[in-house]
């Protein structure tokens, strides 16, 4: 009787694992297609980012007496952190890497909650900060899988505005940089003040500036900072889908392994039941003789 129950038990577990496997397999495919779209989006952004960088660097590097608060360091009283997390789980260690990085940073640099503030994209990060009682000034939840610039425009410009208003004296951004489908690296970048603007060999063009350099920087630098935030978001989204794909693939692999093990036990139990039945029959016949 016992072996029969456990046979049915095993059968049930095999079936349910198979169903789970179907789901994770489907989710892997979905993530894979979202990832390639996200990768495409990130690529579409590159020409804009490159051009903007080229112009900003050619202005910022052309004369040394350019003064703009976004280029100059000041004493840091309060630091802003912008973290990009996902809205859903099932993305492996995607969120925990970012949050760990954030916590490490905070523990290393700050002794009180007045010294930093956090801007969050994504529900996971938001819930985390809420639970720990970390100060969150702004958040976007339910970001679309393929964000447009308009989606982050407000948050980005407000973050830049906070810096301009001297509410924060530094802005860091923490996100997962997409290296390849199987590798994403947590990146912690200082966004503001803008420190190292790489010169991409655009020094040849000596621009006329209309109206003047300072006024142009006034327009350009916030736009530059906002575009960096958007770029990081696109990068983060590509990483998110990649992480989700990897997580789902390993879930599918695990399910396969589990099914294999269960099937082995199932066959063993079945064989044992048959053997026992035969023994019983043989034993019964022997008793009759």
Partner 1 sequence: MSTLAVSVVTPEGPILEDNFDMVVCKAESGEIGILPKHIPLVSPLQISIARLKKGSDTQVVAISGGFMEVQPDKVTILAQSAETADHIDILRAKQAKERAEKRLQDKSDTIDRFRAEHALKRAINRLEIAKS
Using CB under 8 A, list all residues that contact partner 1.
41, 44-45, 47-49, 51-52, 55, 59, 148-150, 153, 205-211, 215-216, 219-220, 223, 226-227, 230-231
**Minimum CB separation from partner 1 for residue 241, in Å?**
18
Which one, 59 or 243, has the nearer CB to partner 1? Answer: 59
Minimum distance of partner 1 from residue 7's CB (angstroms): 58
53 versus 79: smaller Cβ distance to partner 1: 53
- The least distance separating partner 1 from the CB of residue 206, rounded to whole angstroms, comes to 6
By CB atoms closer than 10 A (0-12, 13-18, 19+), residue 25 is middle
Q: What CA–CA distance (Å, rounded) separates 2 from 287? A: 24
Q: Maximum distance among all alpha carbons in the chain?
A: 115
Minimum CB separation of residue 34 from partner 1 in Å reads 17
Nearer to partner 1, 41 or 117 (CB): 41
Q: In this complex, which beta carbon is closest to partner 1, that of residue 42 or of residue 118?
A: 42
* CA dist., res. 234 & res. 282, Å (int): 71
CA distance 251 to 281: 44
Paired tokens of 86:
């996902």
Q: What angle do CA 86, 89, 95 make, to 5 degrees?
A: 50
């Amino acid at each position: 009787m016992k072996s029969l129950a456990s046979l049915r038990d095993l059968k049930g577990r095999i079936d349910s694992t198979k169903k789970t496997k179907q789901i994770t397999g489907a989710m892997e495919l979905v993530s894979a297609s979202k990832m390639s779209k996200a990768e495409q989006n990130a690529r579409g952004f590159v020409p804009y980012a490159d051009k903007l960088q080229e112009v900003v660097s050619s202005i910022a590097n052309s004369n040394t007496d350019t003064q703009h608060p976004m280029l100059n360091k000041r004493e840091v009283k309060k630091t802003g952190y912008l973290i990009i997390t996902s809205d859903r789980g099932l993305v492996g260690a995607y969120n925990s890497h970012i949050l760990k990085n954030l916590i490490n940073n905070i523990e290393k640099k700050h002794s009180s909650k007045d010294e930093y503030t956090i801007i969050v994209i994504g529900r996971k990060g938001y819930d985390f900060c809420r639970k720990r009682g970390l100060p969150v000034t702004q958040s976007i939840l339910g970001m679309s899988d393929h964000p447009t610039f308009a989606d982050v425009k407000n948050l980005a410009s407000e973050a830049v505005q906070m810096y301009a208003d001297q509410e924060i004296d530094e802005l860091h951004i923490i996100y997962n940089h997409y290296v390849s489908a199987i590798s994403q690296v947590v990146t912690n970048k200082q966004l503001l003040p803008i420190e190292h603007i790489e010169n991409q060999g655009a020094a040849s063009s000596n621009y006329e500036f209309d109206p003047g350099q300072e006024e142009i920087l006034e327009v350009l630098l916030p736009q530059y900072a906002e575009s960096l935030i958007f770029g990081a978001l696109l990068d983060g989204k590509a990483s998110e889908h990649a992480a989700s794909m990897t997580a789902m693939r390993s879930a599918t692999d695990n399910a396969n392994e589990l099914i294999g093990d269960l099937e082995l036990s199932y066959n063993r139990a079945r064989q044992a039941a048959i053997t026992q039945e035969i023994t019983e029959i043989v034993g019964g016949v022997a008793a009759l003789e």
